[in-house]
Amino acid sequence: MELLTPRLKISTLKEIDFPEFEKTLNEVQRTCLGGSKNFFDWIISQYNNMDIINGLISLGMFDKKTSELLGTVGVGKHDDLHEPEIFYQLRPEFRGHGYVTEAVKAVTKWAFENYEIPYLIGTVEVSNMKSQKVLERCSYQFIDERTLLVHAEGIQYRFKYYRFYPAK
């Protein structure tokens, strides 16, 4: 699977991408499923079903000119809310250049073209203003604040809950 935007190639990850993928992970993600390689292999295994309703699809966000992996973007079932959610992670050195906005718009469009879903959600920690702005620039509507458990950490956080409804 591959999506092209003006500056990005968004595509399924391959085994060769693991060293760069590992650079995109935060400390919690590095411990998921027993370590970053197991987590990566699990993400790759999800491509067999390509199911955003019951699973998830995490894609690499690659610079079209350099082929460097900038981060990941995807859609999939939220652990607690059981709704399809957009998610993204960008390496710190590439933040502030609009890559995530470009990727979120492309993946959101792709999700509605390929799946029968009424909406997508986005959840962002209340202190993460930059990520909230990404969702707002991509026409996700703020609904409310919620407290959600992050299972990997066993800690509850306050999140802003957004929804995107496709144009009719």
If you classify domain 2-164 with CATH, what class do you get? Answer: alpha beta
Q: CB of 35 within 8 A of CB of 69?
A: no
**pLDDT tens digits, 96-135:** 999 999 999 999 999 999 999 999 999 999 999 999 999 9
Write down the pLDDT at residue 152: 65
Domain residue ranges in the chain: 2-164
Write down the pLDDT at residue 39: 84
**pLDDT tens digits, 12-43:** 999 999 989 888 876 556 555 556 788 899 89
> What are the backbone angles phi and psi of residue 126, rounded to the nearest 5°?
-60, -25
Average of pLDDT values for 84-97?
Answer: 94
What radius of gyration, in Å, describes the C-alpha atoms of the chain?
15
Average of pLDDT values for 82-92?
Answer: 94
**pLDDT tens digits, 137-168:** 999 999 999 998 777 678 888 999 999 999 86
pTM of the model: 0.91
Write down the pLDDT at residue 35: 63
Q: Which residues pair with 90 in a beta bridge?
A: 71
Continuous segment of H or E residues that includes residue 105 = helix 99-114
Other C-beta atoms lying within 10 Å of the C-beta of residue 1: 11
Write down the pLDDT at residue 100: 97
Write down the pLDDT at residue 37: 85
